[in-house]
Amino acid sequence: MSTKWRRLVAPVILLVLVVTGCSGQHGSASSQRSNLITPSIPAGMDVAGTIETGNLERTYVLHLPPGSTRLKPTPLVLALHGWPMTADEMSNVTHLSGVADTHGFAVLFPQGYARSWSVPGGASTPAHNAGIDDVAFITTLLDSIGPRYGLDTSRVTAAGISNGGYLVQALGCALASRLVGIVPVAAPFPSRPTVACVPSRPISVLEIVGTGDQDAGSFPDTLAFWSSTDRCPSAAIAGALPDVAHDGTTVTTISLTGCSGGTEVTGYLVNGGGHAWPGGEALGSVDEFGVTSKQFNASELIWTFLTRHR
């Protein structure tokens, strides 16, 4: 174990309790089978929209859950694709729309400029080279869709993968007043932030990284940065998820709680995992992107994370 991990992680005793039960009532075979049928959740709807910002017409897809499950006020998850990807591909990879239909929240899939995002101090993407201000774009978009569709855009959960995950980190720094938490996937800080990061209020952080990803080495530094920013009072507690997928990956969890304003800093390190959205569709071949772990569903985890901080 590296010195970084010794500093960050305290010893942990992980207890796993499995509770099972069955009914003692008897009935016909047909009635027993009918009791096992779960009613299907009706599908929500996608709204394709455009908005002008920075002298450009930008596009997005907003997924609204069905009325039968929709929460009021309706929470919003912002989902930012990687580079080069599209909003539709982000929806297909993550399955966030289906999770939203089940639990009653909305998902906003903005489209990046030339399939990319401009991250302050970040990589030379097409959007960055064109001088795009994507923090301003996201701010304008939230201002527009919130009142139009009855969404709670004052406590957004922002998630993203790769280039989109790095923009999520930047939003945590620059747009904390609109966010309740961030979920960067496959996008830990490459080092300390290259631009000033002073959030206006503490925000919760859920960081997901695969050890097979090229940036995984900075995972503990990223958690340490956010735990310091959120003034987390205690040492991290490490744990492990049970091996339910048997896909060659395992998951180490890191948790810091009791942070300022009731926030948390949590990390999921996917040992053997690649540049991927766990539980979702692969971004490409295993040779190019590594293994997409099925040990947990990142989109369902986002919902669990969101409910702790609504």
Please report, for the domain that includes residue 244, its CATH number: 3.40.50.1820
Distances, alpha carbon 124 to alpha carbons 13, 121, 132, in Å: 44, 9, 12
Q: Per-residue pLDDT for the chain (310 aa), expressed as one digit of tens each?
A: 444 444 444 433 333 333 334 334 444 444 443 344 546 778 899 999 999 999 999 999 999 999 999 999 999 999 999 999 999 999 999 999 999 999 999 999 999 999 999 999 899 999 999 999 999 999 999 999 999 999 999 999 999 999 999 999 999 999 999 999 999 999 998 766 667 899 999 999 999 999 999 777 789 999 999 999 999 998 899 999 999 999 999 999 999 999 999 999 999 999 999 999 999 999 999 999 999 999 999 999 999 999 999 8
User: Mutual orientation of helices 134-149 and 163-174 as an angle, nearest 10°?
Assistant: 80
Is 35 part of a structural domain of the chain? Answer: no
Q: Is residue 6 part of a domain?
A: no
Residue type, 238: A
Q: How far apart are CA 191 and CA 221, in angstroms?
A: 7
15, part of any domain: no
Beta bridge partners of 49: 60
Structural domain boundaries enclosing 212: 42-308
What three-state secondary structure class fits 59? strand
Let me know if 14 is exposed, middle or buried by CB neighbors in 10 A (0-12, 13-18, 19+): exposed
Residue 16 in any domain: the answer is no
Domain tally, the chain? 1
